[in-house]
Amino acid sequence: MQRLTWIRKKTVAIAVIILQIAVLYGLADLGGLISKLLHTPVPGSIFGLIILFLLLQFRVLRLDWIARGGDLLIREMLLFFVPSSVGIMTYGHLMLHEGLQILVTIVCSTAIVMLITGTMADNIWKARQLRRPRRTAHEDAKEVASW
């Protein structure tokens, strides 16, 4: 009996997640439509993101109506990268001949980007920190909403 209720609960939970993902999918499609109608290079998913943010901000949608599905998608985002990356196999000869140069390019460029981004953000943070009343790391941590 207990096992049956457990199964029922699990089924409901999965159905809820699928429904929530369907809503997000719908928003992405809506964004795609807008992108097509406006003839912009801005991808539809970005319009979808903006629409969802506004719907949440103006309380048309409640966070708990989409949070479970949305958090799942974000948590497993790496999985969705895999199939298109497997496409690297169709560029086998390119990777064989120029793979090392590509790797050097990307590694150096990433290091440059991180150095610039990090020093900029950290220095501005320090400068503004001096002007603001003193805060502790503990207070900063409290800012983070629970995930």
Which position has the token pair 């941590």? 141
Q: How far is the CB of 91 from another protein (least distance, A)?
A: 7
Q: Does 82 bind another protein (CB under 8 A)?
A: yes
Query: If you compute the radius of gyration of the chain from its CA atoms, what whole number of angstroms results?
Result: 22
Quick one: which of 4, 81, 96, 130 contacts another protein (CB under 8 A)? 81
The footprint of another protein on residues 52-71 (CB under 8 A) is: 52-53, 56-57, 63, 66-67, 69-71
Kindly state the tokens that stand for 88.
Answer: 């690297």
Tokens 């999965």, residue? Answer: 14
- Cα angle 49, 52, 57 (rounded to 5 degrees) comes to 125
Q: Should residue 147 be labelled a site residue for another protein when binding is judged by CB under 8 A?
A: yes
| CB nearer another protein, residue 3 or residue 138 | 138
Q: Among 1, 37, 96, 145, which residue sits at the site for another protein (rule: CB under 8 A)?
A: 145
Part of the chain binding another protein (CB under 8 A), chosen from 1-9, 10-18, 42-50: 42-50
Q: Does 96 bind another protein (CB under 8 A)?
A: no
Question: From the list 7, 9, 36, 105, which residue makes contact with another protein (rule: CB under 8 A)?
Answer: 105
Query: How far apart are alpha carbons 54 and 50 in whole angstroms?
Result: 6
Q: Per rule CB under 8 A, is residue 136 in the interface with another protein?
A: no
| Residue 122: count of CB within 10 angstroms of its CB | 10
| Contact call for residue 2 and another protein (CB under 8 A) | no
Report the distance separating Cα 109 and Cα 30, nearest Å. 35
Answer yes or no: are the C-beta atoms of 21 and 69 closer than 8 Å: yes
